[in-house]
Structure 1
Amino acid sequence: MEKAKGYVKSQWIIIVMGDFDANVGDERVEDVVGHSGIGTVNDRGSEFTITNTWYQNHPRRLWTWMSPRDRNRNKIDYILIQKRFRNAVKISKSLPGADGDSDHIPVVF
């Protein structure tokens, strides 16, 4: 991450989206994780806000991954934005059923 910071200007808005295969928990952690996550938080920190943990959505929009035969569901795909720009995001949610052949559900904001 430090190397990547050297390539961007301080006024640029950085948005990171992806399949991080990480659990961030369902309890607020300062201004990084909101109350709408799933699972238990691990001990990694960040200077980013995880946008799709800050907005309360319908229960079917909470998870982004489903295990084979639908035994488990979890939120492991995230959209991150620098903390200082988090107020620019108005909504962030997953889109269930967007790709019926995949175990992952797209996340949008």
Structure 2
Amino acid sequence: MGDFNAKVGARRIGNTVGSHGLGEINERGEMLVGWCQGNDHVVANTWFENHPRRKWTWISPADKYRNQIDYVLIQSRFRNAVLSAKTMPGADCGSDHNPVVCKVHSKLKALKKLNIK
């Protein structure tokens, strides 16, 4: 989708954003929430209560600011399939961002075997 540097904040917004975000919403966050509402998506990171160190996804070079600006967006119909969403602080990925991990429960449909002669 791109690099919005959006912050959606810790305030619940309908069924799109949960109350377990980090910080305050900014203008780009409002744009992201508007896109999610228009396209029937939810911000999965904000629906799970995690320790603050499992929420922030970016740290400033001087270690002064920590923000949650990376998100997992999923369609609303799959919201109940998400088991957890959190960051992995300390992962050595060569970036000032923490990777965001999302556990999803999926049910795969068995394919019928075709009898071909």
TM (norm. structure 1) is 0.77
Distance 1:100 1:70 in 2: 17
Structure index of larger Rg: 2
Distance 2:7 2:46 in 1: 11
**Post-superposition shift, 1:62?**
1.1
Higher relative contact order (CA 8 A, sep 6+): 1
What is the identity percentage for the equivalent residue pairs of Structure 1 and Structure 2?
55
**Post-superposition shift, 1:24?**
0.2
Distance 1:74 1:58 in 2: 14
Distance 2:66 2:81 in 1: 29
User: How many residues get paired?
Assistant: 93
Name stretches of at least 5 consecutive residues in structure 1 with no aligned partner. 1-15
Name stretches of at least 5 consecutive residues in structure 2 with no aligned partner. 103-117
Distance 1:63 1:85 in 2: 24
The alignment yields a C-alpha RMSD, in angstroms, of 1.7
Alignment of 1:3-82 (within 5 A): 20-41=4-25, 42=27, 43-44=30-31, 45=34, 46=36, 47-82=40-75
TM (norm. structure 2) is 0.72
